[in-house]
Chains A and B, each alone.
Chain A
Amino acid sequence: DAKTTQPNSMESNEEEPVHLPCNHSTISGTDYIHWYRQLPSQGPEYVIHGLTSNVNNRMASLAIAEDRKSSTLILHRATLRDAAVYYCILRSYNFNKFYFGSGTKLNVKP
């Protein structure tokens, strides 16, 4: 399984943007980059995914480096409800499982 590297923790102030980095230097050409987040006492929930181009949805934006060896999840205005563990995951075309890693624990200060 292709692995990702994320910082263990990050901190942000409420209503400010947050940039969560992820390195995936061994990514293959058919791997999609997925982000999930896990709120306390909940299962992980889908945030966003992309292949090559930057992506936007109502929850976040995903910026993918040109060489695809890294990506950044952008929360445009962090709220207290965004405090969670964020997982960056590579998903191969013919996948049947995710490798989660330890993720980044985001703390949002009021």
Chain B
Amino acid sequence: DTGVSQNPRHKITKRGQNVTFRCDPISEHNRLYWYRQTLGQGPEFLTYFQNEAQLEKSRLLSDRFSAERPKGSFSTLEIQRTEQGDSAMYLCASSLDEGGYTFGSGTRLTVV
């Protein structure tokens, strides 16, 4: 297993377009998390899945954001009608129950 994989690594999009990011967690990990990180700040929690169930969503996750984890494996994070304020690094992490997190390298989104 090569760890948590995120694709793409970089995405540049025009304001108003929709974007989708993918996260492949460590295969035996049942929990998956999405975080967002802006320049100079620590990561901020967005949402959390246990298997396929989305159990918690942050207030940061506006109605333009949607996350899915079909079949409890990979996850996607979609942002609709992107805004410049959405420019950030989007990080995915996974864990086995309350075990330690393993993070991916992130997807850097730039909205122009």
Residues in chain A within 8 A of chain B (CB atoms): 34, 36, 41-46, 49, 85, 87, 93, 95-103
Any A CB within 8 A of the CB of B74: no
Contact code string B55-69 (vs A, CB < 8 Å = 1, else 0): 110100000000000
Cα distance, A96 to B58, chains bound together (Å): 12
Shortest distance from the beta carbon of A108 to any chain B beta carbon, whole Å: 19
Dominant secondary structure of chain A at its interface with chain B: loop
Contact of A99 among B45, B105, B106 (CB under 8 A): B45
Q: How many residues of B contact A (CB 8 A)?
A: 24
Known A-B contacts A43-B91, A87-B42, A102-B40; the reply to A96 vs B56 at CB < 8 A is: yes
**By the criterion CB–CB under 8 Å, are A46 and B105 in contact?**
no
List residues of B whose CB falls within 8 A of some A CB. 4, 31, 33, 35, 40-45, 48, 55-56, 58, 91, 93, 98, 100-106
Q: Which residues of B contact A96 (CB under 8 A)?
A: 31, 48, 55-56
In the complex, residue of chain A having the shortest beta-carbon distance to the beta carbon of B55: A96
Q: Which residues of B contact A44 (CB under 8 A)?
A: 43, 91, 101, 103
Flag if B45 contacts A97 (CB, 8 Å).
Answer: yes
Given known A-B contacts A43-B93, A97-B33, A103 and B103 have beta carbons under 8 A apart:
no
Q: Are B55 and A43 in contact (CB under 8 A)?
A: no
* A residues in contact with B58, CB < 8 Å: 97
